[in-house]
Every structure is written in C-alpha cells, then in structure tokens.
Amino acid sequence: MPLFERYPELAGVILGNLIINFFVIVPVVFVIMPWVTRLSANWLRR
C-alpha cells in the first residue's frame, strides 16, 4: 500500500514536498555529489 494512501495526512503540499526533498535531494547533495567530486578530483585539478 502506498505511503500517502496509508497516511493521507502526509499527502499535503508542504509536508509531501518536505518528504520528497528529504529522500531525494538530501542524499544527492550529501552523498552522491561528494562521492562524484572525490572520484573526479584529479581530473578537476588539471
């Protein structure tokens, strides 16, 4: 059962966006981007 069907109070515009931001934007900014930067650090120094 989808999360927003099980808990309809989470489907609001503001709270829904905060949940999506937490699970998509935060990992990209704090996990994936630093990892890619470390991998390409030597190439970036050229």
Residue 22 sits in which domain range?
A: 3-45
- What does the pLDDT read at residue 31? 95
CB-based burial label for 37 (10 Å; 0-12, 13-18, 19+): exposed
pTM above 0.75, yes or no: no
For the chain, what is the domain count?
1
Give tens-digit pLDDT for 3-46: 878 888 877 888 888 888 899 999 999 999 999 999 999 998 88
Reply yes or no on whether the pLDDT at 1 is more than 90.
no
